[in-house]
Structure 1
Amino acid sequence: MSSNNKSNEIIDLISEIIINFIYESKSNNKSRQ
């Protein structure tokens, strides 16, 4: 059970990083013009 909890934390972390990366690249494209 504890290992399952750990993998869930890792998935959350990765998801956050991916979302941040996508958001950053989108805003970078907009401000570049």
Structure 2
Amino acid sequence: MAFQDPDTEVAPGLTCFNAAKGALGPGVTERKNSHS
């Protein structure tokens, strides 16, 4: 259980990070193109 505790907290954290990266990825690229 001690090993699953950190794993359980890291899993959702990575999922949230990946989701934000996926949503921000294209947005940042579009902004860069728009700024250029």
Q: CA RMSD in A?
A: 1.3
Amino acid at match of 1:24: K
Q: Over alpha carbons, which structure has the higher Rg?
A: 2
Task: Provide the identity percentage.
Answer: 0
Once residues 12 and 5 of structure 2 are traced to their aligned partners in structure 1, the CA distance between those partners, rounded to angstroms, is: 10
Gaps in structure 2 of 5+ consecutive residues: 31-36
The answer to whether the aligner puts 1:9 opposite 2:17 as a matched pair is no
Give the structure with the higher percent helix: 1
Gaps in structure 1 of 5+ consecutive residues: none
Moved over 6 A (4+): none
Normalising by structure 2, what TM-score?
A: 0.59
Query: How many equivalent residue pairs?
Result: 30
Normalising by structure 1, what TM-score?
A: 0.61
Instruction: Report the equivalent of 2:19.
Output: 22
